[in-house]
Amino acid sequence: MNARRILIIMKWEFVHLIRDPVSLIISLFMPFFMLFLFGYSMCFELKEMPTAVFDMDHSSASRDYIERINSTQYFNIKFHFKSYEEAISSLDRGVTKLVIVIPSHFGRNLKENKPAIIQPLVDASFINSAQIIINYLHGINATYSSSIITNYINKKGASISLEPVKMSLRTWYNQSLRDYTFTITGMYSVVMMGFIPLLSALAIVREKESGSIQQIFVSPVKPPEYIAGKMLPYVIFLGIDNVLVVLFGVWWFEIPFRGSFMLLMWGVFMMVFATVALGFLISTFTRNQLTAMLIGIVFTLMPAFIFGDSISPLVNMPEGWQLYAGLFPARFFTGFCRAVMLRGAGLEGCWQDALSLTVYCIAIFAVASFSVKKNKIM
C-alpha cells in the first residue's frame, strides 16, 4: 500500500466533508441527540405514581394500610373509588396503573391473626414498569406483614426469631441500582452502531450513484488504499466525536467512571474503526443511498439493540443466538465499556472484549478492502 496515494484520498475526503457543513454538523451532533433521547426514554423510575384505592372495609386497619402505602415515595394515593366498575374503567382509560382493592374482612382478619387478603389490580400493558410496581408493592406488604407477625409472636410469648434467615444484600458497581448506568453504557454501542455505518456507507455509495467512483477506478489507486484513505478522516472525526459522547453521557447522566480513560479512548476508537469498516462493507453491496440506509437500519441498528446487551440482557437469549450476536461489534464494546467504566477493570478485566473488538476490526477491514473490485461496476 502506497502511503502517498492514501494521503491523497484522505485529503479529498476531508475536502468533501467540509464542503457540506450542514451534513457535517448534523452528523456530529446526532450521537449526542440520540444518547440524550434514548437515555431519557428507557429508564423507569417509580416516583409518586398516582394510585387508586377501593376500600370495602373502612376499618382503622385498612386506613392504616392505605396510609402506609401513601407515605412511601413510590405511590401517591390519588383516587378513592366506590365500586369495582369504577376501578376497572379507570384502568381501561389509563387514568391509573394500580388500583388496590381491600375486601371487607381485612381489619377483622388482621385482628383474628388470619391472613388478610388484598387485591392489587395492575395495568400490565408495559411489562417492565408493571414488574417494578409489583416488586415495590410486594416489598411494602412484606414490611407491613413482618410487624404484624412480630406482634403475634410476642403476644404468644414465643421467643422465635422473626426472620430466621436474614439475607443481607450487597450490590456492586451500581449501589443505587440506577437504571441509567445500564442503559447508557448499552446505548453507546447502539448510537455508534446505528449511526456510523450509515455515514461511511453513504460516503461510498454517494460516489457510486454520482459516478465519480469511476475516476478512482481509472487511477492507480488500489482498493485497499482507497478504503484506508476514506476511512481515516471518518475514524478521526467520529472517534473524537464519540469520545466526547461517552464523556457527555458520564457527565449528564452521572454514570460512574472508575477505570482508565486511555483504555476507554482506545476502545472507542476501535469501535469507531469497526463500525466505519462495517459501513464500507455494506456499501460494497448497494448501489443507491436509500438501500444503504435501510440495510444500515436492519443490519446494524436493530442488531445493536437486540444483540448489543443494551436493552435486553444477552444472558437471556438462547445459546445459539448469543453466538450469532458475536457477529456484531456492539456487544464487545458494551462489555468493554461496562468493565472499564463500572468495574474499573484494567486490560486483564476486559481483554476478551478488547481482543474480540480488535480481531473484528481487522477482519471487517480486510473483507471490505478486498470486496471492492476495481473493474467491476458494482
Q: Which of 49, 48, 51 shows the shortest CA–CA distance to 101? A: 51
CB within 8 Å of 158: residues ≥ 6 apart: none
Residues from 141 through 200 that contact another protein (CB under 8 A): 141-142, 144-146, 148-149, 152-153, 156, 158-175, 177-179, 181-182, 185, 195, 198
d(CA 272, CA 367): 17
* Total chain residues near another protein (CB under 8 A): 115
Q: Does 211 bind another protein (CB under 8 A)?
A: no
Quick one: which segment of 5-13, 16-24, 244-252, 361-369 binds another protein (CB under 8 A)? 16-24
What is the closest distance, in whole angstroms, from the C-beta atom of residue 324 to another protein in the complex? Answer: 9
Region binding another protein by CB under 8 A among candidate stretches 15-23, 76-84, 223-231, 257-265: 15-23
Q: Which of 9, 57, 65, 279 binds another protein (CB under 8 A)?
A: 65
- Choice from 8, 77, 130, 378 touching another protein (CB under 8 A): 130
Distance in Å, CB of 171 to another protein, minimum: 4
Please say whether the beta carbons of 104 and 119 come within 8 A: no
**Which one of 71-79, 241-249, 272-280, 343-351 is the stretch in contact with another protein (CB under 8 A)?**
343-351
Among residues 121 and 274, whose Cβ is nearest to another protein?
Answer: 121
Residues in 316-335 at the binding interface with another protein, rule: CB under 8 A: 316-318, 321, 335
Q: Does 302 bind another protein (CB under 8 A)?
A: yes
Closest CA to 88 of 52, 61, 44: 52
Rank residues 181 and 284 by Cβ distance to another protein and give the closer one. 181
Per CB under 8 A, the segment of 1-9, 213-221, 293-301, 356-364 that binds another protein is 293-301
Quote the CA–CA distance of 321 and 296 in Å, as a whole number: 20
77 binds another protein (CB under 8 A): no
For the segment 35-54, give every residue that binds another protein (CB under 8 A).
Answer: 37-38, 40-45
- Nearest C-alpha neighbor of 119 from the set 144, 92, 143, 141: 141
Distance CA 154, CA 177 (A): 35
Residue 133 near residue 89 (C-beta atoms within 8 A):
no
Residue 320, CA distances (Å) to 186, 323, 325, 373 in order? 21, 5, 9, 34
CB of 174 to another protein, least distance (A): 4
**Cβ neighbours around 153 below 10 Å, total:** 14
> Which one of 202, 227, 231, 354 is in contact with another protein (CB under 8 A)?
202
Residues 264-283 that bind another protein (CB under 8 A): none
- Residue 208, interface with another protein (CB under 8 A)? no
DSSP assignment string, 7-64? HHHHHHHHHHHHH-HHHHHHHHHHHHHHHHHHHHHH-----SEEEEEEES--SHHHHH
Residues 6+ apart with CB under 8 A from 169: none
